[in-house]
């Protein structure tokens, strides 16, 4: 079981240090934390895997606002999130840039959590399978890559996919890609056990509920119960 906390644009270095002082992780679950870039150095070296929230495909260059694999490795960062829906919808991330970021990160020694998911309009139009198939096709197969299924309508909204909806999407993704699949979208201590109990759900990508150490720990306990 893998439980990843995506902190988005929350927690500078001071809050990051406080969080790590308080976090207690049960045995049997791997925790990955994804703090903002400026908190990465504070988070590494404390026995918990640290991933960046994005990574560029060039080794270096004139790419204002981007960050390279080498810069992350130098800090002890182990991996990166790629293609989060907030990157896709607010910052123009495409299937092609997701592919470039994934390929370069994996070739350069980072682990990757690549995110896919349909919007509410796509689900209502019966296009979920088509959208997931297209997004998954852009993601390379690699032993250090896992996919996170995050229905866009469930992210930060308090709406969660039913366990059956998650299971169906995960089974589809696993039919296309031989990988672990995490579920994301309003995962919290109250719903984690039911979602993580589905056979095709291999862990969780948690946003809001990962900002509090007790809440993240409770999700981890649900993951191994």
Q: Single out the residue of 144, 127, 143 nearest to residue 78, CA to CA.
A: 144
Catalytic residue among 86, 93, 118, 150: 150
Comparison of 78 and 108: residue with beta carbon closer to ligand PGA: 78
Catalytic residue among 56, 84, 177, 221: 84
Does the protein bind ligand PGA through residue 103 (CB under 6 A)? no
Q: Single out the residue of 46, 50, 52 nearest to residue 18, CA to CA.
A: 46
Distance in Å, CB of 60 to ligand PGA, minimum: 28
Number of residues that bind ligand PGA (CB under 6 A): 13
Comparison of 70 and 156: residue with beta carbon closer to ligand PGA: 156
Of positions 208, 217, 222, 223, contacts ligand PGA by CB under 6 A:
208
Q: Which residue is nearest to ligand PGA (CB)?
A: 207
Measure the CA–CA gap between 95 and 168, rounded to whole angstroms.
22
What does DSSP assign to residue 141?
Answer: P
Measure the CA–CA gap between 218 and 210, rounded to whole angstroms.
10
The answer to whether the beta carbons of residues 152 and 124 sit under 8 Å apart is: no
Measure the CA–CA gap between 163 and 201, rounded to whole angstroms.
9
Cα-Cα-Cα-Cα dihedral of 145, 27, 217, 206, to 10°?
10
Measure the CA–CA gap between 122 and 27, rounded to whole angstroms.
39
Does the protein bind ligand PGA through residue 6 (CB under 6 A)? yes
Distance in Å, CB of 122 to ligand PGA, minimum: 17
Comparison of 115 and 172: residue with beta carbon closer to ligand PGA: 115
Contact set for ligand PGA, span 117-156 (CB under 6 A): 150, 155-156
- Per CB under 6 A, the segment of 46-54, 55-63, 135-143, 206-214 that binds ligand PGA is 206-214
Taking residue 89's Cβ as centre, other Cβ atoms within 10 Å add up to 12
The answer to whether the beta carbons of residues 179 and 146 sit under 8 Å apart is: yes
- Per CB under 6 A, the segment of 103-111, 134-142, 182-190, 213-221 that binds ligand PGA is 182-190
Measure the CA–CA gap between 167 and 51, rounded to whole angstroms.
26
Comparison of 3 and 187: residue with beta carbon closer to ligand PGA: 187
* 84 part of the active site: yes
Rounded to 5 degrees, what angle do the CA atoms 35, 150, 2 make? Answer: 60
Does the protein bind ligand PGA through residue 169 (CB under 6 A)? no
Active site residues: 84, 150
Q: Which residues bind ligand PGA (CB under 6 A)?
A: 6, 150, 155-156, 184-187, 205-209
């Amino acid at each position: 079981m893998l439980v990843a906390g995506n902190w988005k644009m929350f927690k500078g270095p001071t809050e990051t240090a406080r969080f790590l002082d308080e976090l207690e992780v049960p045995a049997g679950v791997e925790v990955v934390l994804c703090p903002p870039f400026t908190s990465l150095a504070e988070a590494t070296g404390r026995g918990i895997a640290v991933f960046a929230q994005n990574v560029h495909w060039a080794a270096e260059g004139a790419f204002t606002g981007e960050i390279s694999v080498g810069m992350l490795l130098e800090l002890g960062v182990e991996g990166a999130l790629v293609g989060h829906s907030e990157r896709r919808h607010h910052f123009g991330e495409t299937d092609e840039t997701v592919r470039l970021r994934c390929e370069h990160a994996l070739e350069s020694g980072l682990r990757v959590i690549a995110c896919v998911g349909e919007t509410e309009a796509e689900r209502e139009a019966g296009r979920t399978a088509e959208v997931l198939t297209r997004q998954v096709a852009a993601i390379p197969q690699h032993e250090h890559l896992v996919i996170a299924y995050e229905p866009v309508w469930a992210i930060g909204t308090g709406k969660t996919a039913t366990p059956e909806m998650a299971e169906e999407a995960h089974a589809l993704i696993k039919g296309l890609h031989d990988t672990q699949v995490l579920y994301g979208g309003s995962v919290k201590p109250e719903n984690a056990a039911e979602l993580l109990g589905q056979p095709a759900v291999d862990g969780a990508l948690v946003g809001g509920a990962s900002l509090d150490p007790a809440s993240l720990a409770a999700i981890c306990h649900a993951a191994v119960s």
